[in-house]
Structure 1
Amino acid sequence: MNAPRHRTWWVRLGQLAGLVAMALLGLFDLRFGDFHGMTPAALLLTLARMGLAAATVLVWLPVHRTGSRRAPVLALLVGAASLAVSLALGALHTAGSYVLSGNWGLAESAGLMAVVFVVARWGAPRIAPWAAVVAGLAVAALPLRAGTDSVYVIFALLQALAAVGAAAGGIYLRVVATGRDRAIALVRAEQRAEFARDLHDFIAHHVTGIVVQAQGARFVAEQDPQRVITALEQIERAGAETMASMRRMVGILRDPDAAPDAPLAPLAGVADLAPLLEGFNGTANAPARLHVDGALDGLPVEVSTSAYRLVMEGLTNARQHAPDARSVDVFVRRTPDWLLVRVADDGAAARTSPPRRHGYGLVGLTERVRALGGTITAGPGVTGGWVLDAALPLQRTVVR
């Protein structure tokens, strides 16, 4: 979040314009500065203020990160040096030495205002306020180098207001950037949490199949060794997919600073329902049949992935809690405004509610479906078995 911002062409053009403006103001200061009659000390101080104008470039030109300590430290040094030069020149002017003739250093004024802006925008919170105050006081004190007449006091007040405006601009951009970064961090955290939930259900689905296959292989080991080999092959394949999914999940969750384009999309959509049912049929006694009514292309991504999750949860529950089921039917129907999903088994075992130990998948699905503005129900069917029903709106009406 605190990485340097990408420097687009217009930013570089603006910095080049700033350098050109500083150079022109420096030439103006040299052209209209009056060095006649200066004492060596006054001449030395005048050269010092020109050097300070160049030193401000070292603060506002480089790329800084949010929370930078370098920018406010340099700003403190430059601002303190500018204040010291202003006090010295003011003392010489009060003593009667002819130092300046109406020109207090426009290049230095512009540079210090840029310093105030940069410090307010990028500086470390603990140091930036002090650095901005010192640089702002230095800007306000510049016109007083030429005298304390009312015109110079007015210019001092105007430059102080300009410094306040520069600080306000920097703070505003900082607040906007901070809010944007927080919003991005929140979205990415939500994406990772959703991805973790998807992978949890995916892993639970495969692990359940592994357990069922292992239990079945134990009972048929003596009667049909060939079926044991088939079961072991399916267990190996499901285990490999589970391990790959776990590595992927852990890698994403352990890297909060992954690139924004990291693969955070959910696992699959309705186009992958057929392979899902094929995998289920290879590990369950009851065959699963897919019934599709309507075209499933062009569905919103969140609807497609939620439908896949619903079917996967329904199949997992049927395999876990309906071992006596003879069939599982998956219905997916598309209407102009809704995608309707139903997973129904004909198991005879009574299930009044999802077991507490395995109810987290259904809870997560309920939250997701309701966030999309849909509805979901799960309970005993009219003719027996268990039915999972969901209606997902095809319009993007997300409920918060």
Structure 2
Amino acid sequence: MEQRLRWVTMLTRPDLIRRGAQLATLFVMGVLGLLDLASAVSAGGLPLAFVMFVGALATAAVWLPRHRQGSTRLPKAALLLAGFSLLLTLAVGGLSGGIGSSFGLAEAVGLLAVLFVVCRRGDTRWTVGTVLLLGMAIGFLPLRAGVSADYVIAGLALGLVATAVIALAVYLRMIESTRLRAMDSVRAEQRAEFARDLHDFIAHHVTGIVVQAQGARFIAEQDPKRVLLALEQIEAAGAETMASMRRMVGVLRDPNARPDAPLAPLAGVDELAPLLEQFSAAGDVLARLHVDGSTAGVPVEVSTSAYRVVMEALTNIRRHAKDARVADVWVRRTPDWLLVRVANDGAPPRAAIPREAPGYGLVGLSERVRAVGGRITAGPGIDGGWVVDAALPLDQEVTR
């Protein structure tokens, strides 16, 4: 079962799917290229066959590499290819009346692949014109062999195929755009939540510093030696506040965050026991907490991040692990790290989520965990179920 799940996870990775589609397209182009060559040999058009072979290779050089989203180089290169193909079609079909043999099936497939990649990844300012020229190049390609009804119908068929390719590429582009917008929204919400937590944290410590300073001034008149202890406490609280601010402010890049947003009390590892009790009481899953080491003195941003990791993992168990009966939460403190693990005994999802495309809840968690210098992973457990692991540094120096 575990081995099959690993195979499913591997085979559903986007990069493997893309590579498989590329290999299949190259295989089809190779077979059609052999047909083009055989047809050219029988018709005595070897020089033209060589030119069409070079054209097919040129298309592969454009659609095979991995292009970034919004690339301008991609549509520009495709524009040159489409212009070359149209000129060749005009020279062969329009001036000589056709070659009466294969018109370049391998080049047609290559141009369709270029059309797909341009619609999928190209910059929108260049894509529209490039797509129109590519559509013309593909539709007119059969006219190299002649202007008979058969070749005109073949051109119309290629035009329909090109339309379907455009529709598929635009659909996939819209899906990815929607997913990226949703992920950006989750990250923005997480940054706003960080801002509220930071506000509570600073208010708590500054209030403590002010109270200690007032007490120090009062006892200075009675017992000056006790002032040193108060000053040490003030210094420690100030240092902890500044260190936490440096780590948390780095993710607060949203200038539109509302300063009057409702504030929630900070929840940390010490509040995990009540959280698990509420979780167990609300359903059929028994949540058990295992703590190894003291949780005293854990930095506030680390403690709150650990709490959010557990809360999100338990929420996912409720949503996705319908057959789970036990959820175990381990919190272990080492000299440098706070380690958190949440595991359940239910069956993992049938199609494991690729690590490259996590759910939106994990996106927010990853943003929070990275902000404090930690890391988080999620995947099927060795003994079944689903496991979420997070490692949060207690000292920022260990992550440098």
2:61 pairs, out of 43, 58, 63, with: 58
Q: Check conservation: 1:93, 1:145, Cα contact below 8 A.
A: no
> 1:297 is matched with which residue?
276
Q: 2:33 aligned with 1:26, yes or no?
A: yes
C-alpha distance in structure 2 between counterparts of 1:127 and 1:271, whole Å: 53
* Gap runs ≥5 in structure 1: 1-5, 257-265, 275-293, 301-311, 313-400
Q: 2:221 aligned with 1:222, yes or no?
A: yes
By how many angstroms is 1:165 displaced? Answer: 1.1
By how many angstroms is 1:36 displaced? Answer: 4.0
When normalised by structure 1's length, the TM-score is 0.60
1:13 pairs, out of 16, 20, 31, with: 20
When normalised by structure 2's length, the TM-score is 0.60
C-alpha distance in structure 2 between counterparts of 1:165 and 1:298, whole Å: 54
C-alpha distance in structure 2 between counterparts of 1:237 and 1:49, whole Å: 75
> 2:89 is matched with which residue?
86
By how many angstroms is 1:37 displaced? Answer: 5.4
Q: 2:245 aligned with 1:246, yes or no?
A: yes
- RMSD in angstroms over aligned alpha carbons? 2.7
Q: Deviation per CA, 1:170-195: give whole Å up to 9, x if none.
A: 11111110110010011011011101
- Structure showing greater radius of gyration is 1
C-alpha distance in structure 1 between counterparts of 2:16 and 2:278, whole Å: 39
C-alpha distance in structure 2 between counterparts of 1:37 and 1:24, whole Å: 20
Runs of 4+ in 1 over 6 A off after TM superposition: none
C-alpha distance in structure 2 between counterparts of 1:14 and 1:267, whole Å: 51
Cα distance 1:213–1:162, how it changes in 2: closer, same or farther (>3 A)? same
C-alpha distance in structure 2 between counterparts of 1:273 and 1:117, whole Å: 52
> 2:130 is matched with which residue?
131
Cα distance 1:66–1:296, how it changes in 2: closer, same or farther (>3 A)? closer
Cα distance 1:267–1:16, how it changes in 2: closer, same or farther (>3 A)? farther
Q: Check conservation: 2:197, 2:266, Cα contact below 8 A.
A: no
C-alpha distance in structure 2 between counterparts of 1:31 and 1:71, whole Å: 32
C-alpha distance in structure 1 between counterparts of 2:235 and 2:203, whole Å: 15
- Kindly indicate whether structure 1 or structure 2 has the higher relative contact order, using CA contacts under 8 Å at least 6 residues apart: 2
Q: 2:75 aligned with 1:72, yes or no?
A: yes
Name the SS for the 1:25 alignment partner.
helix
Q: Deviation per CA, 1:77-122: give whole Å up to 9, x if none.
A: 111000000000012333xxxx522411110110001111000000
> 2:211 is matched with which residue?
212
Cα distance 1:113–1:218, how it changes in 2: closer, same or farther (>3 A)? same
C-alpha distance in structure 2 between counterparts of 1:83 and 1:35, whole Å: 24
By how many angstroms is 1:227 displaced? Answer: 2.9
C-alpha distance in structure 2 between counterparts of 1:299 and 1:107, whole Å: 64
C-alpha distance in structure 2 between counterparts of 1:76 and 1:297, whole Å: 60
| Identical pairs, percent | 53
By how many angstroms is 1:54 displaced? Answer: 1.0
Aligned length: 261
Cα distance 1:90–1:249, how it changes in 2: closer, same or farther (>3 A)? same
The amino acid that maps onto 1:272 is: D
Name the SS for the 2:124 alignment partner.
coil
C-alpha distance in structure 1 between counterparts of 2:40 and 2:150, whole Å: 18
By how many angstroms is 1:46 displaced? Answer: 3.9
Cα distance 1:37–1:248, how it changes in 2: closer, same or farther (>3 A)? closer
Q: Check conservation: 2:200, 2:265, Cα contact below 8 A.
A: no
> 2:270 is matched with which residue?
272
Name the SS for the 1:147 alignment partner.
coil
Q: Deviation per CA, 1:105-159: give whole Å up to 9, x if none.
A: 1101100011110000000110011111111110001011111111111111110
By how many angstroms is 1:34 displaced? Answer: 4.8
> 1:170 is matched with which residue?
169
